[in-house]
Structure 1
Amino acid sequence: MSALSTLFLASCLVWMSGAQTAFKRVAEENVTLPCHHRLGLLEPRSLDIEWLLHDSKANQKVVITYSGGNVYNEVNEGQKGRVSFTSNFLAGDASLQIVSLQPSDAGQYTCKVKNAGQYEWHHITLTVLEKPSKPKCWVEGELSEGKELSLQCNSASGTAPILYQWQRISDEEGKMEHLPPTARVNFSNPGQVLMKNLTQMATGLYQCTAYNEAGQENCFVQVTVQYARSIGMVAGAVCGVLVGLSLVFLIVWLTIRRKEKKRYEEEEAPNEIREDAEAPKARLVKPSSSSSGSRSSRSGSSSTRSTANSASRSQRTLSTEATPHITPSRYSRVETEGREIDPKKVNHATLVKMGATPVMLPAQSRAFQTV
């Protein structure tokens, strides 16, 4: 090889060694990190290629190597089975391919090529972006008019910075709307929206979007503001119904009690024990001297009849002890409205109206008075 060609090759190696490239990829995607060299033409048998990784913790790991005619691609446990050379690395293309990128693949990669005492190297920075995880949405506070609440949204993982955006979804065709005028975003916590002095305008479906360079994810929450006045009206209506039922029950109970009391008085009035009135005294007629003979002749029969009459009257008196008797006034005959009334024909009610005094007489005394 001439000196001119050697000098040209050396200058190219110096230019290539100073080249550095940065890549950004999203997790789960594939990437190819370039590494081109010219040392394969010198001594193919002595060619040596090595890829190294300096991760975020400044740890150096071997990714893949070619040495002594063999390829070793299972050196790094975390990248085993996911790394390989893209094409004919002996001809000058030692690019590295990584499939199904993971956040741990991020870092600075160095490609080193050595052959016949000559070196080439390339530095490539790989950034692996992770999309925000599915965020969680919830509501904190009281869903009533005049109260306040906060809408919360949080994504557990993803490449920082993760940004949040709240929107309200319209009922018509699912269009996005701005937040109500009373809503304010908490800048110290972008995933939180504060809503004060709630009104019915705040009712609706809200969407939170968590996003970064890698992508975005959404979550939804329903807000339903309750009528404060409707709650008071319902409570008042319930109280009114209870009071009305109580009044109706009280009226019915009083009516039933009054009827029972009246029926009890009507049933007790006829059962009252009244004192018997004084029975009329029997008038004894003194017999004349002319009838002394007949009296003596009838004494036997009269005494027998008197004895029988006394026994019958005693029996009647015993059977009618509980029957009230009313004694008429001092006169044997009573005048009522200009006509005479026979005491024997005067009934109980008439005597009461005329002011007769009821007197209860024992049966034995009545019997002796009528003898």
Structure 2
Amino acid sequence: MEERIYALMLLCLVLSGVSAIDVTIPQRQYEYARGDNITLSCSFTTTSPINSRTLVVITWSVLSLQPTIEETVIATYYHWPTPSTDIDTDYEGRVSLDLDLTQGKANLKLSSISLADNKDFECRVHTPGDKKGKISATTRLVVLAAPSKPICKIQGTAEYHQNISLICVSEEGSPPPTYSWERHDIKNNPVPHDPSTTDSGGILSLYDIAIWTSGYYICTSENKIHAATCNITLSVSPPKISPSLGWLLNFFN
């Protein structure tokens, strides 16, 4: 498919005079919920009118954010000699083109979008006689998903004078969720965190803990779509006495 595109591009240059094309996408970013069927709009203007024998090639590609990974051409339309559309095998059944060449419309329709579609998309139009100007436009697709129910856990030993962390993480969410921790005492009354406590990225770090550090801790994972919570009951206890030390204490008692 790529060889055919390059051959037609070369033919466009041979047949063309010097003029300009303008390809535009109205929004720099689109936001849709996971599972939606969407349309990414692309419009273009050409110097000369397009007819049934005009050599037009329209491509939609997914651009990689990593320079070592090449773009993926997901759909290509050939207007001449016979109108036809090639769809990348990974997108078959999910992608189609909504075209009206006389009106300069070259839209991409994408169904059942997933978090894997959080990418940059490029619309590119090649026509004879238009080798200058703006032949492509890009947009970013942001697929929105509520945070999954976070998982709360304790890292460290909940004993006097220890430093521990309460960990909170949602496995998915788009945009990435933010996290916040609330603390309740053993009577379930809201209480402020100790001044030395730090709360960053879902990790609540507790230092030199004591009996009054015990309580009920609630983590909220939230993005612009929704919020979800998890909780932990923290019980801080004295250090365990080793068997040898226990024997010694019993001996002197």
Instruction: Tell me which amino acid in the other structure corresponds to 2:137.
Output: H
Paired residues for 1:207-222 under 5 Å = 207-212=218-223, 216-222=227-233
Alignment map for 1:1-371 (pairs within 5 Å): 14=21, 16-17=22-23, 21-25=27-31, 27-39=34-46, 41-46=49-54, 47-57=56-66, 58-67=69-78, 68=80, 69-72=82-85, 75-86=87-98, 88-89=100-101, 91-118=103-130, 121-129=135-143, 131=145, 132-143=147-158, 149-158=164-173, 163-168=178-183, 177=190, 179-181=192-194, 184-185=197-198, 187=200, 190-200=202-212, 202-204=214-216, 206-212=217-223, 216-225=227-236
Instruction: Name the amino acid aligned to 1:138.
Output: K
- After TM superposition, give the deviation of residue 103 of structure 1 in Å: 4.0
Partner SS state of residue 122, structure 2: strand
Identity percentage of aligned residues: 22
Distance in 2, matches of 1:29 and 1:216, equals 20
The change in CA–CA distance for 1:118 and 1:153 in structure 2 (over 3 A counts) is same
Question: Kindly tell me: are residues 146 and 42 of structure 1, through their superposed partners in 2, closer, same or farther at Cα, counting changes over 3 Å?
Answer: closer
**SS of corresponding position for 1:65:** strand
**2:168 partner SS:** strand
Q: What is the number of residues matched between the two proteins?
A: 215
Q: CA deviation at 1:137?
A: 0.6
CA offsets per residue over residues 135-157 of structure 1, 9 Å max, x none? 32112445566665431223345
* More displaced stretch, 94-103 vs 106-115: 106-115
Q: 2:51 is matched by which residue type in structure 1?
A: E
> Relative to structure 1, is the Cα distance of residues 202 and 91 closer, same or farther in structure 2, using a 3 angstrom cutoff?
same
d(CA) in 2 for partners of 1:60 and 1:151? Answer: 41
For structure 2, which runs of at least 5 residues remain unmatched after alignment? Answer: 1-17, 240-249
What is the Cα-based RMSD across aligned positions, in Å?
4.2
Q: Match for residue 366 of structure 1? A: none
Deviations 1:157-198 (A, max 9, x none): 5568653211136899x99x45433661155x6523315332
Question: Which runs of 5 or more residues in structure 1 are unaligned?
Answer: 1-9, 229-238, 240-371
Do 1:182 and 1:197's aligned partners in 2 also have CA atoms closer than 8 Å?
no
| More strand, by proportion | 2
| Amino acid in structure 1 at the alignment position of 2:65 | S
- Provide the rounded CA distance (Å) in 2 between the counterparts of 1:101 and 1:19: 19
1: CA distance, partners of 2:206 / 2:57: 62
What is the Cα deviation at residue 33 of structure 1? 1.9
- SS across alignment from 1:112: strand
- Call closer, same or farther: CA 1:223–1:118 in 2, change over 3 Å: same
Higher helix share: 1
For residue 122 of structure 1, report the CA deviation from its aligned partner. 3.1
Distance 1:37 1:117 in 2: 14
TM-score, normalised via structure 1 length = 0.45
Against the structure 1 CA distance between its residues 148 and 106, is the aligned structure 2 distance closer, same or farther, given a 3 Å change threshold? closer
Query: Do the aligned partners of 1:161 and 1:212 also contact (CA within 8 Å) in 2?
Result: yes
Q: Secondary structure at the match of 2:193?
A: coil
Matched residue SS, 1:95: strand
Per the alignment, in what secondary structure is the counterpart of residue 106 of structure 2? coil
In 2, the alpha carbon distance for the partners of 1:171 and 1:29 equals 45
